[in-house]
Structure 1
Amino acid sequence: MDNPDPCISGRIAYGVTWSFLRWLSDHFAHEVGGERELQRRIIQSPRSGFATLQEALGQDVRPLMAYWAASLYTDGRVSGGDPLLQFPSWDLRGVEERLIEEARLSPRRNDFVSFERETTVAAGSTLYHLVGSFSGHEPFAVEARSAADGNLPGFMQFWVVRIR
């Protein structure tokens, strides 16, 4: 494949899209008459992109993307929580454990102490931080700011999943 895009790197170009569609099917196909009906709605839609999905599902796709993005890490790691944080038809953690370490989703780790991280998130991408401690801790707050120390742009989402 002759593609200069740095995000493809010899991988299947539609892998991320596939996982989002798989997650949507797992959780919402039953609401529209099953997977076959959901796929029919997507394929036959005159719209494109998120508008297609929003029309097919009858709901805003943006909050669903946050659940899906979180589930890429939480699937197989967190039990008994929100079912939207899982891939019912897959075991992503089991798949990930078979990958070389460099290919695994590895959140940046932080302890329950004051920390500040300057990071960049590529468009259409996700950044994961894992904040934890083996001892008790005081309540704490998390804040995300733009590079100019302002609010995040409206198209960005910031979400927190509490595991314990």
Structure 2
Amino acid sequence: MNQIQLDSELIEQVIAQDRKAQFQLFELTKRMVYSLAFRMLDDEDMAHDVLQDTYVQVFQQIRNLKHPEALTSWMRTIAARNAIRKGKKQFQFERLDQVEETGEDQFEAWFDGELLDQAIRSLPPGARAIFMLVAVEGYPHQEAAKLLGVSESTSKSQLSYAKKLLKTRIKTLLQA
């Protein structure tokens, strides 16, 4: 995913609690934060709540940020944790020993981002959360598991499950 480049002057102004700079930071990064929250939660209202909670935390804690150049990564981490906190009850993990295996693993077709987004949002909540954290956001399984309160092996198996479901769902959407 593209990293948003913020100049050091803007970051310094945000740290100094300059309201115009805070609004500018919000405008530059709101899509990134909302997108992460929405894809994890698949709920607009909850994603907006996460967006708001994230910026409240960012503006309250930005003075403690040791590496200002890592601001957007730090914001993504806050957003992911807020989404997990908000959707904790929704993230249930399916027992994979009860899920049918399909022998087909080949996937060769063209699709766009909207189709992929639709397929991701159709994943079961737990698999979707793991997929977003590990495959999209780049968290290691150990950290994703800790954030979600599951074992590392559950994280790994849920990611594998999510990928298999995505292949199936994208094929289905392409045929529609």
TM-score, normalisation: structure 2: 0.23
The structure that is helix-richer by fraction is: 2
The structure that is strand-richer by fraction is: 1
Q: More relative contact order in 1 or in 2 (CA 8 Å, sep 6+)?
A: 2
TM-score, normalisation: structure 1: 0.24
